[in-house]
Amino acid sequence: MTEPAFWPWSAIYGAVVLVLVGIAWVVERRQPGTARRFALVVALGSAVVYLTWRLIFTIPSDNWVSLVAGIILVTAEFAGLLQMVASTVIGWQVDRRTPLPVHDLAHIPSVDIYIATYSESIAVLEPTLAGAMGIRYPGKITVYVCDDGSRPQVRELTRRYDAEYLEREEHEHAKAGNLNNALVHSAGELVVTLDADMIPTVDFLEKTVGYFIDENLAFVQAPQAFHNQDAFQYNLFSGDVLPNEQDYFMRTLQPPKERFNAVMYVGSNTVFRRSTLDAIGGFATGVITEDMATGMLLQAAGYRSAFAPDIIAAGLAPENFADLLTQRTRWARGNIQTARKWNPFTLPGLTWMQRWIYADGIVYWHFGIFKMVFILAPLVYLIGGDPVLHAAVSSFLAIWLPYFVASFVRMKLLSAGRRSFTWTHVYEIAMAPTIAIAIIGEWLGFSTKVFAVTPKGVSTEKLNFRWLIALPHVILLGLSLFALLNAFVLSAGRFTFDSLVITSFWTLYNIVGLVMAILVCLERPRQRRTERTEVDLPIGAQLWEGAPVEGRILDLSFNGVRLALPWSNTFGPADAAHQLVRKGKLEIDRIGTISGNSRWISESADGMLVGFEFDELAPDQAVRLVGAISGSPHWVRHDREDKARLAGAAARTVIGAARRVNPSLRSEFRAKGRRIAQLHPSGTKIATPFAVHLDDLSFGGCRVRSRHRINFGDEYGVELHGHHSFSSPAEVRWVHRRGGLYVAGLKFKRHGELKVPA
């Protein structure tokens, strides 16, 4: 149908919507609940008007290509409307229940804690086990390490912590089978499921068990939170200004689902009533998202679910983009598998709202297909010349722009600042090609029942560009740039003004997302074995031959600390220089005495910074240490976008893309200073030692400058004389030519000792 000339009326409509959106934005500061609901209504109304206009007036019929492309495009937009309606209903009201304190329960139930593991490293698993062993609870707790990898080192770790070790001969049904095996070999009235990396806080049970005063309650789900940066935060230099990509679902969409008894079980941080699991035959099997299926089956059986909003456990987000995509592909395929086996529209026992909410979750995982449609649609016109919609710029601005602005404000208010419209665009474009292929493959029958564990706690020393993942984005970016070149240069004058303006703007918007997606594929090195948490604890450092020195811990991990030792009347630079030894002890408040090694030192006008690595911790020390880390207010990162600093983060991303190829990135801080050292070439007695300028030095390596040729891979003995003596074999890990000098980074093969010269 031809679009009528109704510009004046549509302009008035657009102005009214923009005014209403502005009112919601202003009111939000004083009455957030009212403003949120008002914005939801305005956004939904503008979406209905926009899509009605699109369906009636803008679908092209120039030829079959235009007609098909136009119908596919508007279908994808209608899918977005359905999701908007669902999120509006879900987010309209949030009812928060306060659980009864555990001590007030008439009966304190016994609790079994299942830590499910398969291939995770000891470094990932041990903090979780230590956290579980440190949980406060007035009743009986039994911790089970459910090792589906049957590893001797995990058995020994479990024995050291006096926990229960479970394994099985057959490994059917992956994680679900592992948990069902634990149900058979335990008897607690309540059951906690924890992923191997999800460290619980000491008050985990205090914040959840009280909900079970409701005799019909099947499970309590707490949000999954993360104490490291995800791939988007880390690779885009945005960890300080951008929340974790999962925070929007975990902390915004999950809580209001309790009102409809549709809280989703997400596999970890959950407490179950054992009898309800027994009633449905245990954890669901036969799909790779056993968690979603188990929760839905419990709700279909008439049991209730609850959501505990507090952060009472946190783990590791996938640490590179490839692993994140592996995880999301598993979730996407698992949702389709669950829908096939237990269709929410036909599963007996679900209410109509539960069916809608679960169906909406399944539709969501088709976002990859929808986003690919939105990326390719304008290219059909700018490259092929076939219109995908017919609209005047004036009408488009009057109808589409208010809808876009209302949707932008709606997302801000609905998510409470956890997610913006712009970052949703970036996230979806980055994952779209992979998720689209997975969903199409699943529907075509190319299914997989294999449960793949997401790697956690993996450190990397090198920059890695995931070119296979980035390739679709590079191709789409190239096509988008070519489309603009074709429209404005190669085929200039061929396109109508209105369609050219709309599709060009649309393509530029997609280009921004594609560029960010490509940058996410440029994986920055992650050299820390464990994440550090900012803390402020008093400490006594016995790192010198004299009396202990008092200081403060600045950050803390399961492997070590960074501590500050201020200069005082009894401790100054001269004392530190002449008494330092590498082996030492720390007396940490509420944790006790821990021995270990100094890894690096750095002096300043105010004092000394020391990086200290722990020796192997005794189980009781590890429990107290994890309690101190998880008890820090800085353990879990903020869950709000920092609008004021996002622009700076974006600039750092672009600038950092060039800088992060620097191979001298290192895991240890290094003491600065210009000193002279000697390099002794290894492997020959003929080669003559030569002097180098030592730019910095740590217990793990150093950086040197010399006019003498230094080659990558060469081995030297490093000697330093003077204020300290130092000797260690080393290998050249990188070399630059700079101003006629060789600048090289050397890694010590064994840690040298800083000693007082004889």
* Alpha-carbon span 166 to 114, nearest angstrom: 10
- Per-residue pLDDT, averaged over 230-255, amounts to 88
E strand intervals along 98-254: 111-117, 141-147, 164-166, 190-195, 199-200, 217-221, 225-226
Which residues, listed in sequence order, are joined to residue 671 by a DSSP beta bridge? 697
386: annotated active-site residue? no
The token pair at 734 is 């990188």
C-alpha separations of 444 from 287, 329, 370, 449 in Å: 16, 15, 17, 15
Q: Which residues contact 187 (CB under 8 A, 6 or more apart)?
A: 110, 112
Q: What is the pLDDT of residue 52?
A: 93
C-alpha separations of 459 from 330, 465, 560, 596 in Å: 23, 16, 16, 22
Which of residues 216 and 575 earns the better pLDDT score? 216
The token pair at 489 is 């240069």
> Maximum distance among all alpha carbons in the chain?
95
Sign of CA dihedral 345, 349, 353, 359: negative
Q: With bands split at pLDDT 50, 70 and 90, how would you rate the model's confidence at 643? A: low
Q: What is the pLDDT of residue 753?
A: 45
DSSP labels, 351-379: -HHHHHHHHHHHHHTTHHHHHHHHHHHHH
The token pair at 138 is 């007035």
Instruction: Report which of 387, 377, 384, 391 is spatially closest to residue 491, judged by C-alpha positions.
Output: 384
Give yes or no for a contact between 117 and 147, defined as CB atoms under 8 angstroms apart: yes
Share of the chain above pLDDT 70, in %: 88
Is the pLDDT reported for residue 755 higher than 60?
no
Rounded mean pLDDT of the chain?
86
- Per-residue pLDDT, averaged over 212-233, amounts to 94
Residue 523: its H or E element: strand 522-523
* pLDDT tens profile 561-570: 999 989 887 7
Q: What is the CA 117 to chain-centroid distance, rounded? A: 20
* pLDDT tens profile 182-208: 999 999 999 999 999 999 999 999 999
The token pair at 678 is 């000697």
The token pair at 197 is 């990396």
Catalytic residue among 247, 291, 360, 639: 291
Share of the chain above pLDDT 90, in %: 53
* pLDDT tens profile 709-752: 898 888 888 887 654 456 778 888 888 888 788 999 888 776 44
Residue 196: how many other CB atoms lie within 10 Å: 28
Q: Judging by DSSP bridges, how do beta strands 313-315 and 225-226 pair with one another?
A: parallel
Q: With bands split at pLDDT 50, 70 and 90, how would you rate the model's confidence at 31? A: confident
* Alpha-carbon span 474 to 452, nearest angstrom: 27
Q: Which residues contact 477 (CB under 8 A, 6 or more apart)?
A: 511, 514, 515, 518
Which of residues 658 and 229 earns the better pLDDT score? 229
Q: What is the pLDDT of residue 752?
A: 44
* Alpha-carbon span 164 to 145, nearest angstrom: 6
Q: What is the pLDDT of residue 662?
A: 40
C-alpha separations of 751 from 203, 212, 663, 665, 700 in Å: 40, 54, 21, 19, 6
Candidate from 28-42, 116-130, 437-451 with smallest mean pLDDT: 437-451
Q: With bands split at pLDDT 50, 70 and 90, how would you rate the model's confidence at 602? A: confident
* Alpha-carbon span 726 to 678, nearest angstrom: 10
* Alpha-carbon span 236 to 198, nearest angstrom: 25
Helix (H, G, I), strand (E, B) or coil at 620: helix
Angle subtended by helix axes 421-443 and 393-414, to nearest 10: 90
* Alpha-carbon span 464 to 578, nearest angstrom: 42
* Alpha-carbon span 168 to 150, nearest angstrom: 8
Give yes or no for a contact between 565 and 608, defined as CB atoms under 8 angstroms apart: yes
Structural domains of the chain sorted by starting position, each given as residue range(s) with its CATH number in brackets: 108-341 (3.90.550.10), 533-630 (2.40.10.220), 671-748 (2.40.10.220)
Catalytic residue among 148, 197, 230, 639: 148
Residue 690: its H or E element: strand 690-697
What's the full length of the chain, in residues? 758
148: annotated active-site residue? yes
Q: What is the CA 398 to chain-centroid distance, rounded? A: 38
Is the pLDDT reported for residue 757 higher than 80?
no
* pLDDT tens profile 525-558: 776 667 889 888 899 988 776 678 899 999 999 9
Helix (H, G, I), strand (E, B) or coil at 573: helix
Q: What is the CA 549 to chain-centroid distance, rounded? A: 38
Q: With bands split at pLDDT 50, 70 and 90, how would you rate the model's confidence at 417? A: confident
The token pair at 482 is 């070519």
Helix (H, G, I), strand (E, B) or coil at 677: strand
Q: With bands split at pLDDT 50, 70 and 90, how would you rate the model's confidence at 456? A: low
Q: What is the pLDDT of residue 576?
A: 63
Burial 710-737 (b: 16+ CB within 10 A, else e): beeebebebebeeebebebebbbbebee
Candidate from 235-244, 458-467, 494-503, 588-597 with smallest mean pLDDT: 458-467
Entry pTM: 0.84
* pLDDT tens profile 338-354: 999 999 999 999 999 99
Q: What is the CA 421 to chain-centroid distance, rounded? A: 18
* pLDDT tens profile 685-704: 457 888 898 877 766 678 88
